[in-house]
């Protein structure tokens, strides 16, 4: 069985490796470096930069831990960016190594569907190569959305692609969009000294999360001296004398060295051959059935080009499932427990339903919550901001959770497992959690669902 994959991102390269492991002859077509947005200009480089800014902040706070550091502590921006590139390059080399060991052929070029079994690959030198396959998996990925009012030039008005490749530390930056990308990048640059303003048209940062979650992050941004403007959008933007001049809908004007547009992403389907081949789409995304197969038999689609959460871990899961189905199985992806992670300080993580979703759907629920400041481990490490929140339905099943605080993205896995398996508050709450640990907060929040948390004051004080 010959399988061809268009796109070498976290969906495409995982699909290719899985297909090779299952005995298929595999070809991956990627126009740039393998790893896609996630590895090259997204998840990994952003986390590498945040690791540097976190180290800087830890050093600056060392005195409160009894550690005296003599001399000035400064950030070397070029070295930080160099370390980021080293991390990225090492991971890319790792994928290429696995391709080699698994016998996956990598062709660098732009892949376009010709028919259900043929892909035309245009290489950088203009030459054309035709790739034939029994089954095709589309993993084209996505690109930043730039609304027409922004004079995007890649130099002053930039996207997330360019911001991670800046050569010098900006003096000032306007970030349009207070979602995951805007929040992470904004906090990184502010930690290094850039004057940062975030404008979010919705009434809170992280619009998809509950207000109490967003409030914690906005409180930290205030301490960081990041200016956050919510509930208003950008009316116009121009480049004047080499600076970005943005006028908000309320008439306020913001002048900055850079304007980063981080309002979302769109499927990368231009000139892909999808339309010509008659593959069904809705609102710019490819329509697939429960097996991730498109309207054209034998062609599958995964990741950011279909109507599922635009997250690397979702694309990877879809890649593995699509391959198994292409090879004759009939598997589906469960989206009930997709982790949502923001790597700011404090970290923000969520899984399953939010309170506002439950309320909108008219679902009766109970809530348990526990603050990190009440945990011995949190006090010991000096990170006490935030909380753990558990949401359960009327049958006591855990249907959602949110964590704002230290290592929240790592702690979330226990609750993701609970949501996916349909476990109850009682079942997970009965598990002994290590002491002292941050995971104790999960146990305490679970106990709080039934007002049985021994480390919380009673909701009503006895006379």
Share of the chain above pLDDT 70, in %: 99
Contacts made by residues 161-168, CB under 8 angstroms, sequence distance 24+: 161/41, 163/258, 163/260, 164/41, 164/45, 164/46, 164/49, 164/84, 165/41, 165/81, 166/81, 166/258, 167/78, 167/81, 168/77
Is residue 134 within 8 A of residue 3, CB to CB? The reply is: yes
What's the rounded Cα separation, in Å, for the pair 376 and 379?
A: 5
Calculate the dihedral angle through the C-alpha atoms of 166, 170, 173, 176, rounding to the nearest 10 degrees. 10
Q: Tokens standing for 7?
A: 């796109």
Residues 363 and 286 in one domain: no
pLDDT of 210-254, one tens digit each? 999 999 999 999 999 999 999 999 999 999 999 999 999 999 999
pLDDT of residue 278: 97
Which of 435, 447, 450, 455 does the annotation list as catalytic? 435
Residue 272 has pLDDT above 60, yes or no: yes
- Judge whether 311 is annotated as a binding position: yes
Residue 366: CATH number of its domain: 3.30.390.30
- Judge whether 264 is annotated as a binding position: yes
373 belongs to a structural domain: yes
Q: Mean of the pLDDT values across residues 48-55?
A: 98
Residues 16 and 121 in one domain: yes
463 belongs to a structural domain: no
pLDDT of 360-413, one tens digit each? 999 999 999 999 999 999 999 999 999 999 999 999 999 999 999 999 999 999
pLDDT of 131-172, one tens digit each? 999 999 999 999 999 999 999 999 999 999 999 999 999 999
What's the rounded Cα separation, in Å, for the pair 324 and 317?
A: 11
Question: DSSP per residue over 294-327, as a string?
Answer: -SSTTEEE-GGGBSS---HHHHHHHHHHHHHHHT
Q: Tokens standing for 163?
A: 């911001």
Report helix, strand or coil for 21: helix
Residue 458 has pLDDT above 90, yes or no: no
Residue 287 has pLDDT above 60, yes or no: yes
CA atoms within 13 A on the CB side of 318: 33
Is 447 a residue of the active site? no
- Judge whether 352 is annotated as a binding position: no
pLDDT of 172-220, one tens digit each? 999 999 999 999 999 999 999 999 999 999 999 999 999 999 999 999 9
Residues 258 and 274 in one domain: no
pLDDT, averaged across the chain: 97
Q: Tokens standing for 191?
A: 């930690």
- Judge whether 200 is annotated as a binding position: yes
Q: Which of 280, 303, 326 is the endpoint of a domain?
A: 326
Residues 132 and 276 in one domain: yes
459 belongs to a structural domain: no
Residues 33 and 54 in one domain: yes
Determine the structural domain holding residue 413 and report its residue range: 340-449
462 belongs to a structural domain: no
Residue 459 has pLDDT above 90, yes or no: no
Residues 353 and 294 in one domain: no
Q: Mean of the pLDDT values across residues 255-267?
A: 98
Q: Which of 263, 294, 318 is the endpoint of a domain?
A: 263
Q: Work out the angle between the directed axes of helices 312-326 and 12-21 (0-180°, nearest 10).
A: 40
Share of the chain above pLDDT 90, in %: 98
457 belongs to a structural domain: no
CA atoms within 13 A on the CB side of 270: 3
Residue 170: CATH number of its domain: 3.50.50.60
Q: Mean of the pLDDT values across residues 21-39?
A: 96
- Judge whether 327 is annotated as a binding position: no
Q: Is the peptide bond before 54 cis (omega within 30 degrees of 0)?
A: no
Residues 138 and 282 in one domain: yes
| β-pairing verdict for 299-301 and 258-261 | unpaired
335 belongs to a structural domain: no
Residues 120 and 205 in one domain: no
Instruction: Find residue 265's DSSP bridge partners.
Output: 144
Residues 246 and 279 in one domain: no
Q: Mean of the pLDDT values across residues 420-440?
A: 98
Neighbouring residues of 228: CB distance < 8 A, sequence distance ≥ 6: 178, 197, 198, 200, 205, 218, 221, 222
Q: Mean of the pLDDT values across residues 259-283?
A: 97
Residues 254 and 274 in one domain: no
Q: Mean of the pLDDT values across residues 453-457?
A: 93
Instruction: Find residue 113's DSSP bridge partners.
Output: 119
What is the domain count for the chain? 3
pLDDT of residue 269: 97
* Distance set, CA 43 to CA 80, 160, 351 (Å): 16, 11, 18
pLDDT of residue 230: 98
pLDDT of 335-364, one tens digit each? 999 999 999 999 999 999 999 999 999 999
Residues 135 and 178 in one domain: no
Neighbouring residues of 221: CB distance < 8 A, sequence distance ≥ 6: 183, 186, 187, 198, 205, 228
36 belongs to a structural domain: yes
Report helix, strand or coil for 415: helix
pTM comes to 0.96
- Judge whether 181 is annotated as a binding position: yes
pLDDT of residue 326: 98
Q: Mean of the pLDDT values across residues 119-126?
A: 96
pLDDT band per the 50, 70, 90 thresholds, residue 460: low
Question: DSSP per residue over 217-248, as a string?
Answer: HHHHHHHTT-EEEES--EEEEEEETTEEEEEE
- Judge whether 183 is annotated as a binding position: yes
Please give the sequence-ordered ranges of beta strands (E in DSSP) within 333-443, or none if there are none.
340-342, 347-352, 365-371, 387-393, 398-405
Residue 463 has pLDDT above 60, yes or no: no
What's the rounded Cα separation, in Å, for the pair 80 and 45?
A: 11
pLDDT of residue 461: 52
- Judge whether 111 is annotated as a binding position: yes
pLDDT of residue 143: 96
Q: What are phi and psi of 39, to 5 degrees?
A: -85, -35
Residues 255 and 276 in one domain: no
What's the rounded Cα separation, in Å, for the pair 353 and 3?
A: 36
pLDDT of 94-120, one tens digit each? 999 999 999 999 999 999 999 999 999
417 belongs to a structural domain: yes
Q: Which of 209, 244, 263 is the endpoint of a domain?
A: 263
CA atoms within 13 A on the CB side of 366: 18
Q: Mean of the pLDDT values across residues 41-59?
A: 96
């Amino acid at each position: 069985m010959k399988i061809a994959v268009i796109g070498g991102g976290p969906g495409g390269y995982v699909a290719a490796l899985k297909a090779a492991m299952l005995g298929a002859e595999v070809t991956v077509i990627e126009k740039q470096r393998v790893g896609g947005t996630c590895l090259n200009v997204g998840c990994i480089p952003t986390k590498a930069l945040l690791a540097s800014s976190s180290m800087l902040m830890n050093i600056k706070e060392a005195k409160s831990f009894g550690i005296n550091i003599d001399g000035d502590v400064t950030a070397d921006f070029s070295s930080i960016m160099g370390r980021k590139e080293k991390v990225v390059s090492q991971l890319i080399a790792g994928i290429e190594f696995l391709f080699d060991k698994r016998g996956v052929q990598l062709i660098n070029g732009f892949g376009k569907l010709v028919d259900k079994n043929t892909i035309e690959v245009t290489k950088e030198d203009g030459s054309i190569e035709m790739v034939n396959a029994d089954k095709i998996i589309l993993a084209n990925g996505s690109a930043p959305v730039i609304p027409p009012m922004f004079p995007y030039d890649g130099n002053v008005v930039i996207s997330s692609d360019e911001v991670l490749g800046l050569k010098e530390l900006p003096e000032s930056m306007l970030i349009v969009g207070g979602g995951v990308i805007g929040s992470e990048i904004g906090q990184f640059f502010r930690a290094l000294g850039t004057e940062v303003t975030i404008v979010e048209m919705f009434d809170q940062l992280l619009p998809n999360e509950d207000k109490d979650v967003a409030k914690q992050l906005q409180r930290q941004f205030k301490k960081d001296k990041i200016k956050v403007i919510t509930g208003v959008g950008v009316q116009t933007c121009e480049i004047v004398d080499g600076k970005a001049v943005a006028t908000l809908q309320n008439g306020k004007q913001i002048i900055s060295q850079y304007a980063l547009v981080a309002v979302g992403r769109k499927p990368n389907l231009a000139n892909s051959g999808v339309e010509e081949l008659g593959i069904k789409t809705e609102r710019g995304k490819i329509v697939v059935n429960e097996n991730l197969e498109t309207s054209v038999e034998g062609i599958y689609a995964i990741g950011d080009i279909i109507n599922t959460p635009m997250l690397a871990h979702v694309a990877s899961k879809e890649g593995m499932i699509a391959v198994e189905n292409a090879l004759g199985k009939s598997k589906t992806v469960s989206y009930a427990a997709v982790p949502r992670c923001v790597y700011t300080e404090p970290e923000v993580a969520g899984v399953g339903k939010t309170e506002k979703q439950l309320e909108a759907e008219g679902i009766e629920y109970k809530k348990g919550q526990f603050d990190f400041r009440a945990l011995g481990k949190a006090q010991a490490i000096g990170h006490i901001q935030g909380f753990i929140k558990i949401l359960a339905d009327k049958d006591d099943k855990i249907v959602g959770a949110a964590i704002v605080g230290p290592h929240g993205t790592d702690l979330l896995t226990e609750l993701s497992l609970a949501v996916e398996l349909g476990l109850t508050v009682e079942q997970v709450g009965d598990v002994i959690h290590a002491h002292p640990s941050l995971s104790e907060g999960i146990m305490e929040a679970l106990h709080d669902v039934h007002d049985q948390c021994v480390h919380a004051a009673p909701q009503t004080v006895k006379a």
